[in-house]
Every structure is written in C-alpha cells, then in structure tokens.
Structure 1
Amino acid sequence: MTLLFLFIRERLAWLGFFLFIVVMLNVLFMLDIGLNSVSIWYVNSSLFVSFTLFFSWRYVVEVGKLKDFLGNMNSQMDELHKMNLTLSPFQTIYFREMEDIFFVKNSELNQAKVQLQEYADELLAWVHEVKAPLTAINLMLEHVDDVALRQKLEHEWLRLHLLVDQQLHQTRLHSIEKDNYLTAVELKSIVYKEIRALKAWCMEKGIGFEIDTLSGTVMTDGKWLAFIVRQILSNAIKYSPENTEITIFTEIDATGATRLHIQDVGIGILQEDLPRIFQKSYTGTIGRESTQSTGMGLYLANNAAQKIGIRIDVQSKAGEGSLFTLRFPLQNEYTKLKGR
C-alpha cells in the first residue's frame, strides 16, 4: 500500500494533466453544438478506463523494477552491471551518479580506516614505550628509604600505570575478537593478582578485603577478565571511605552460571545514574565531584565483558555502596560465543 501511495505521489503530474484534458474536453462538448450528438459520458468513461488501465500497467512495471533494483542493492555496484536490470534512461543517469558517489565515499572510508589503523598502531607503540620506564620507576621505588614518601610515590605511580593500562586496552578493544583466547581460568588467581597490584592504593586508604567462597574456574579470556576486575576494583577503592572493606565472593545461580560479586560500602550510585554508568565518558552526579573520574573505566569494562560473554549487573544506592556482579556464560553460551 505504501508503494501505491508513493507511486501516486510520483505521478501527480500525470493525474493533473489527465484531469486537465478531461475538463477541456467537457468544456468543448458544452460549447460546440456540433458535438451534441456524441455522448459526453461515453467519452469520459472511455478516457477514465483507458487511463486507469495505463496507470495500473505502469504501476506494475515500475514497482517491479524498483523492487528488483532495491533487492540487489546489497551487491557490489560492479555486479549490478551483470544483472538483467532494465533501467530507464533517467534511472541509468541516477545509477551512474550513485556509482560515482559510492566510489568516492568508499575511497574516503578506506583512507580513513588506514589512517585510524596507523593511529592505533602508533598509540600502541607509544603505550608499550611508556610501560618500560614505568617498570623501571617501580623497581627504583623499592630503594626509597622514607616509607611515607615511598607510599605516596607508589600511589602516584599506580595512578599513572592504571591510566596507561586503560589506554592500552581501549586501543585493543576494537580488535578484541582477534585478540581474545577463551580457556579455563581460576577466579581466585585473577582476583588475588589484581588485589596485589592495587596494594599501595589500598594501604594508603586502609582498604581491606573480605574474600569468601572465592573458588572455581570459568571459561573466559584471562587477560580481559583481569582488566574487567581491575576496573571494578579500582572504582570500589576510589569511592570507598578510608578503613573500610570490600567483599568479594562467588556463587552459582539458578541457571548453573558462576557469578563473581564485588561489593563495597562506598558512596554508591544515584538511581538516576544507574542506567547510564556504562556509557562512554559518563561520570555521573557523584563522579563529577572527583577530578580523578574519567567515565571510561566502566565503559571499557562493560564493552570487553560483552565481547567475551560476561554480563555485568549493578545494584547500588547512594550512600550505601555498590554491588557489581559478573555473570559468566554457561557451556552452551560459551559454544555460541566461540562460534561467532
């Protein structure tokens, strides 16, 4: 029905001209006495029937061509030449113009892709170059005798290290399908390693960890899982008051899936902010009060989690802390993920 209305709108000039001819003939029949013997209704009926048949024929032909043309638009433009498409002279001109536009835009798109890939490669190279002096600085910190000074330097080093690490994974995120490797991973080793990496920050704030029933293995990518846990832990530490505890535990839900819970007693998240915490660069109402908040950590963690089949759920209330839950895929879900 939509195509019929479009066809009628496209042919309004035809309809207008036909009605003009009919009106003119009727006026002539009224003014010319010599035509009184001819039935005006017979002429009008003949004209309307003839025009209706012609209009219907053109509708069937042109709509058929349109459907054929649109149905093949997903093919490459050079392949369309080989197809048996009957185009009108004007349609041929449109088609040639579209070809030229597509060619130019494809060239620009390919050039942009090349430039983006070059930028990503340069950025990755820069990140790897920065990691070398960071490692050297971390080793030198062990020789600082002043404990208070060493702890401050270790905290600042950790902040810089997390920013570089975040940039590294952000650059790699678009090609995670080529980079990930799903295998059996022990949750305890991943969580303990990330806690040790954040030790300096935790000691400075007096943050402790209560770990309960943290056991079992899951099918996932160990490197990307570590990155996801790192982002959630760093958020928990950042927004937790001093001398508090972060609780980490696992459970098996009703579907048989493993869930990893990370719970803090920090400032929490406002209810109006919850639906948007995984959006890029969104810091939220509370995050705007902190100059350290970039809004990228949870965005990158959630994107990486989706690509390796992990679902992140959040329960939080302002002033009462947050509970982040990582749900790992079941065996059949893992098989589907691997077959992508």
Structure 2
Amino acid sequence: MEISILYINFINITAFVFFFIWRYFQETKYIKALVSTLANEKDLDFILESFPDGYSSFEKTLSTTIDDLVLVAKEELNGLKVEHLEENDYTLAWIHEVKTPLTSMKLMIDSLDDRNAQKKLEVEWLRIHLLLDQQLHNTRLSTIEKDYMIEEVDIQKVLHMEIKEFQAWCIQKNIGFDLENLEVKVLSDPKWLAFIVRQVISNAVKYSHADSEIHIRTDRDDTGHIILMIRDSGTGISQADLPRIFEKAFTGTNGRQTTASTGMGLYLAKNVAEQIGIHVLASSNIGVGSTFSLRFPLKNEIVKILGR
C-alpha cells in the first residue's frame, strides 16, 4: 500500500514538473519574442510589422492592445514632427525677415559722420547679428546631415573672414590677433566650420580683457590630425564649470555676471563639430584664459562621416 502511494505521488510530481516546464516555455515564448522585437527594432513601422501575435487568448489581447498603443504613439509623434517642421519654417522665415532691416541698419551705420557713434553702433549691430546667426544655425541643426559638403578648406581664409567680422568689437576693446602657422588645408564643410570658429572667437573676444591678444595657430598631433588652437588671456573658466560649458543654455559663473551670455554658442559649436567629425576640446583657468582646440578628421575618418 505504501509503495502504491509513493508510486502515485512520484507520477503526480513527475507530471507536474513536466507540465510546469511545458507551461514555462509556452508562457515565455511570447515574452521573449516581444522583448526581441523591441530590442532589435527602433522604428515604429517595423515594430508594428514584426510584432508577435501571441498564442493564448490573453497574449492575443495583450498584443492587440500594444498595437493600438503603438499606433497612437505614432500618430502623436507624426503630429509633433509636423509641428516642429512648421515651427522651424516659421523661425527661418522670421530670421530672413529680420535680416532685411538689419542690413539697412548696417548701411545707415556705415554712412554716419560721427566716428565714435558709428563704432558703438557697429558693436551693438554685431551682437544682434551674432544672436540671429546662432538662432539660424540652431534651427538648421536638426537637418545638418542634408546641409553639409565635405571639401578641402583653407583655414587661413576662414579665420581671416571671421576675424574681419569682429573688427568693430576688437577695436572697441583694443584686442589684437596673433596668427601662426595657418597655411594649412583641412577636409571639412566651409560654412559650418566658419560657424564653429565664429562661436569660439566670439567667446574669446567677449571674455578677453581690454588691450590683450588672442593667439591662433595650428599644429599636428602624434596621429597626424591637424589641430586648430584659439587661446585668449581673459577671465578664464572655473574648473567646476569647465565640464559643462558645452551643455545647452549653460552660462556658468562668467555668464551670470553679464546679460550678453545665452549659453548657446558653445553648445551649437560642439554639436555641429560632432556632425562633421571635428573634435572640440577646452582647457582653462580662472584669470589665465581659455584655449579651445579643434581637431580635424583624417581622410579615412571623413569616409565614415559621409557614409552615415
């Protein structure tokens, strides 16, 4: 009798173990397929196409519910994309509208007989122009992959053009430029490179002391990369602020002391640089000044950028 009971218990336990294993694989098959789909697919359309249907009634209900949620999310995302594009179009149209009176203002400033008033107005005009330029490139940043062309760029030519733009501001603060070893060419996009240089020089002029110099030169590192260095001897950046200077809207200690800082210049410069393969580094000390280094990609690295 005892043997029969033990035998029955053994049969029951064995059957339960097999049933448990079978149910485990049945229940986890759908979950694994679901996790695999979400892990491998990022596009909503592909997720909907490859979504598992499920095996049990519960899994089918869950699958249908998730499908509906994904469709709702897709509709909301498409709505946001349309809204974003419309906002970008409006911003670009507004910028181009503002440029017309700004150009007229520049012509009127140039025609003034009072040289002192002319110089002061030129500096204020330049600040407005730079802010407008920042907003324009911020709007275009999301579609930069459609708006760049890598070619051989003369660094010296780009720098001379950008320095000329800051002439009025530099004269006001009596700031000079020391240029060294700039007769080099790099592979980059001339328009976006000029924008990056403009943001760095703008910061250098803004935070430089009066009657000082901004030093600009190029060098090569051990791997053959060309490096453009822009160094000022201004107020400098604290070590606490230095890791965050490329964050959006971060103004830091120096920025809080002036209303002229928006915290967007270096953020945009860094983001644009990453898109075209330029690596931006910064080093600084309070009271000593700041150095910004732009490391340009090699030819084989450019191929990877173009293939993205």
Question: Which of 143, 146, 164 is residue 178 of structure 1 equivalent to?
Answer: 146
Shift in Å, 1:142: 1.2
Write the letter of the residue equivalent to 1:52.
V
Matches within 5 A, 1:280-291: 280-291=248-259
Counterpart secondary structure, 1:168 = helix
Question: Which of 80, 90, 93 is residue 61 of structure 2 equivalent to?
Answer: 93
Write the distance in 2 (CA, Å) between the matches of 1:205 and 1:86.
72
Write the distance in 2 (CA, Å) between the matches of 1:210 and 1:224.
23
Question: Which of 156, 175, 184 is residue 207 of structure 1 equivalent to?
Answer: 175
1:297-333 per-position Cα deviation (integer Å, ceiling 9, x unaligned): 0000000000000001111111100111100000111
Question: Which of 46, 49, 58 is residue 79 of structure 1 equivalent to?
Answer: 49
Shift in Å, 1:78: 5.2
Write the distance in 1 (CA, Å) between the matches of 2:31 and 2:284.
54
**Percent of pairs identical after alignment?**
48
Shift in Å, 1:43: 3.9
* Structure 2 gap ranges (5+): none
Q: Are the equivalent residues in 1 in contact too, given 2:246–2:266 (CA < 8 A)?
A: yes
Aligned partner of 1:59 in structure 2 is: 24
1:16-44 per-position Cα deviation (integer Å, ceiling 9, x unaligned): xxxxxxxxxxxxxxxxxxxx867554443
1:140-180 per-position Cα deviation (integer Å, ceiling 9, x unaligned): 11111111111111111001000000000000011000001
Counterpart secondary structure, 1:76 = helix
Tell whether 2:19 aligns with 1:49. no
Distance 1:119 1:225, change over 3 A: same
Aligned partner of 2:110 in structure 1 is: 142
Write the distance in 2 (CA, Å) between the matches of 1:241 and 1:86.
69
Write the distance in 1 (CA, Å) between the matches of 2:102 and 2:196.
22
Question: Which of 222, 227, 231 is residue 190 of structure 2 equivalent to?
Answer: 222
Write the distance in 1 (CA, Å) between the matches of 2:184 and 2:72.
54
Write the letter of the residue equivalent to 2:280.
I
Question: Which of 286, 300, 305 is residue 332 of structure 1 equivalent to?
Answer: 300
Write the letter of the residue equivalent to 2:49.
E
* Structure 1 gap ranges (5+): 1-35
Deviates more, 1:62-71 or 1:206-215: 62-71
Write the distance in 1 (CA, Å) between the matches of 2:150 and 2:113.
43
Aligned partner of 1:268 in structure 2 is: 236
Q: Are the equivalent residues in 1 in contact too, given 2:279–2:294 (CA < 8 A)?
A: yes
1:54-76 per-position Cα deviation (integer Å, ceiling 9, x unaligned): 10111123223332343345363
Deviates more, 1:247-256 or 1:69-78: 69-78
Shift in Å, 1:290: 1.5
Shift in Å, 1:213: 1.1
Write the distance in 1 (CA, Å) between the matches of 2:59 and 2:307.
43
Aligned partner of 2:160 in structure 1 is: 192
1:97-141 per-position Cα deviation (integer Å, ceiling 9, x unaligned): 111111111111101100110100110011011111111111111
Write the distance in 2 (CA, Å) between the matches of 1:79 and 1:313.
44
Tell whether 2:291 aligns with 1:323. yes
TM-score by length of 1: 0.85
Aligned partner of 2:87 in structure 1 is: 119
Shift in Å, 1:86: 4.8
Write the letter of the residue equivalent to 1:307.
Q
Write the distance in 1 (CA, Å) between the matches of 2:27 and 2:159.
65
Question: Which of 74, 89, 94 is residue 106 of structure 1 equivalent to?
Answer: 74
Write the distance in 1 (CA, Å) between the matches of 2:2 and 2:284.
90
Counterpart secondary structure, 2:182 = coil
User: Considering only CA atoms, is the larger Rg found in Structure 1 or Structure 2?
Assistant: 1
Q: Are the equivalent residues in 1 in contact too, given 2:48–2:70 (CA < 8 A)?
A: no
Write the letter of the residue equivalent to 2:198.
R
Aligned partner of 2:269 in structure 1 is: 301
Counterpart secondary structure, 1:243 = coil
Write the distance in 1 (CA, Å) between the matches of 2:269 and 2:68.
42
Write the distance in 1 (CA, Å) between the matches of 2:229 and 2:300.
23
CA RMSD, Structure 1 to Structure 2 (Å): 1.7
TM-score by length of 2: 0.94
Shift in Å, 1:335: 1.2
Counterpart secondary structure, 2:219 = strand
Shift in Å, 1:80: 4.2
